[in-house]
Amino acid sequence: MIGVRKASAEDEEFLYRIRSQPSVSEMSLSAPPESREKHHRWLNNKLHDPNCAIYIIKLITPDINDCVGYIRFDSMQLNHVVSVAVDEKYRGYGYAFDGMYAAITDFLHKHFKGRIRAYIKPDNKASIKLFKKLAFKKYGKDTVEGQEVLVYVF
C-alpha cells in the first residue's frame, strides 16, 4: 500500500539521499545539495515556509515500511509548482502515481484555488508519462532556471 504524509525534520537524511542521486539531479531543475549543512538549511527553510508543502511517499506492507520518494509543492499566489522524485530502487512500480494522486488530493483539499504546474525536462519521459496519467495537460514550453522545460497544468 502507498500512502503519503507531510515531511518533517526527521526526513532530512532520506531527502538528502534522494536529492543526491545522480538520476534525480539530472532531471531536476535545481542543483543537488552541495553539503549536508546546506541541505539542512534548505529543508529547515522549506519546512517553515507557509508556501511550501513536502510530502513523503511511503510504502507500507506487512514486511516493509519504507520511504520511497517525495513530492513538493511550492506556491506563489494561485500558482502551485509540483516536483516529485522517487528513490532509484523503487522506480517502475507505480509508486509515484499513487503518491502523487494522494498528495494532490490532500493539497487541493487545503489549497483549492489555483493551478498546479509541473515543469519537466523534455527528455524526462517517465515524468511526462506520470503527469499525463494524472490528467495534467501540456500547456507549452518555457525556460526555468535557464533550462528548457515542458509545462504541464492541472
142-150, Cβ contacts within 8 angstroms, sequence gap of 24 or more: 144/29, 144/119, 145/29, 145/30, 147/29, 147/121, 148/121, 148/122, 149/29, 149/119, 149/120, 149/121, 149/122, 150/119, 150/120, 150/121, 150/122
Q: Which residue has the cell 490528467?
A: 135
The better pLDDT of the pair 64, 12 is held by: 12
All structural domains of the chain with their residue ranges: 2-113
pLDDT tens-digit map of 96-122: 999 999 999 999 988 767 899 999 999
Contact 47, 54 (CB under 8 A): yes
Average pLDDT over residues 51-63: 94
pLDDT tens-digit map of 73-84: 999 888 999 999
**Domain spanning 2-113: which superfamily?**
Gcn5-related N-acetyltransferase (GNAT) (3.40.630.30)
Mean pLDDT of the chain: 94
